Amino acid sequence: MSSRRTRSPRAFTLVELLVVIGIIAILIGILLPALRRARESANKASCLSNLHQLSVYLQQYQNQFRGQLPIYVMGGTAYFNYVVYFGPYGATTLNEYIGLGLLVPAGIAPKSGSDSGRVFYCPTTDTRYTQNQFNYIDPASPANSNPWVGWPGYITRITYSVRPEYYAMDAGPLIPQFPYARWDMDKTTSSTNVYLIPPVQGRACFPKANSFNRKSASAIIMDLNNAQDNRLSVHRGGNNVLYANWSAKTVPNEYIEKHLKNIRVLEAQNANGRPARRAHFDMWQELDRF
């Protein structure tokens, strides 16, 4: 009976192993950029979907409230346009829904605690001041929290911003006034130089879709919540914008890049001054023309 020698499996040589590792590294290098592009494309599509949903909310709101739209900013700064609920702030004890937050007590947008409130948050950008984008509570610091929405004593910020053409400020600060004031887009010089809409009995307090500077062509919501704190482009190549005719589209970054850079520089000098406010107006009017 002949004996057979059992052969052990042939092991990889060091050279073969290095070749395999090199091939894997090359494949990863090829695939990762494609995966990043796919993820960013999905985020951009999700953001546009959010804006379309917000347009549905706004159309429902104007149907309930004689054509009004809650598109305005609180206080004297043109960039303070990303807050939907104010708890105590500075010297005021205001606890109130404002701006797009008014969609919630109207029974249109998702209420407190609803995960559907994520529609107010772009999946790419971050919330200003807080450690998390959505429904975050810091037990040690209400100022660093961001509950969704309407918690007394807390501020809720979103990642979308509204056009700052209209604003609300009284002796407060940050106490709403009616009817709301409108900045003079061409002649504004200081935080107190505004064109005030005179009160008329029975007239709507908020602007209508056709009352903005370029009417239905006006940009009313975009996915930069504060140009000073965010990078120049939210998405790869541009920013998503909702218009008063209810269309939403991506505006290429190079179209408004000079305005965003200008805003960052001027706000560092004086956020309430004429140059900074004028820079914000210029950016939104540039969006109108896209």
Q: Are 99 and 84 spatial neighbours (Cβ–Cβ below 8 Å)?
A: yes
pLDDT score for 6: 56
Mean residue pLDDT across the chain? 79
Q: Is position 21 within any domain?
A: no
**Per-residue pLDDT tens for 158-191?**
989 999 888 776 444 445 555 566 766 666 555 5
Q: Is position 9 within any domain?
A: no
173 against 277, higher pLDDT? 277
Structure tokens at 119: 């529609």
Number of domains in the chain: 1
Q: Are 253 and 239 spatial neighbours (Cβ–Cβ below 8 Å)?
A: yes
Confidence of residue 226 (pLDDT cuts 50, 70, 90): low
pLDDT score for 51: 97
Q: Are 161 and 72 spatial neighbours (Cβ–Cβ below 8 Å)?
A: no
Q: Is position 143 within any domain?
A: yes
Q: Is position 118 within any domain?
A: yes
**Per-residue pLDDT tens for 97-147?**
888 999 999 999 999 989 999 999 998 877 766 666 788 888 888 878 899
Q: Is position 31 within any domain?
A: no
Q: What single-letter amino acid sits at 161?
A: S
Report the 10 Å Cβ neighbour count for 184. Answer: 13
pLDDT at 1 over 60: no
Q: Is position 53 within any domain?
A: yes
Confidence of residue 202 (pLDDT cuts 50, 70, 90): low
Q: Is position 262 within any domain?
A: yes
pLDDT at 29 over 70: yes
70 against 203, higher pLDDT? 70
pLDDT score for 12: 64
Instruction: Show the domain range for 80.
Output: 40-288
Q: Is the pTM of this model over 0.75?
A: yes
pLDDT at 247 over 90: yes
Confidence of residue 287 (pLDDT cuts 50, 70, 90): very high
Q: Is position 141 within any domain?
A: yes
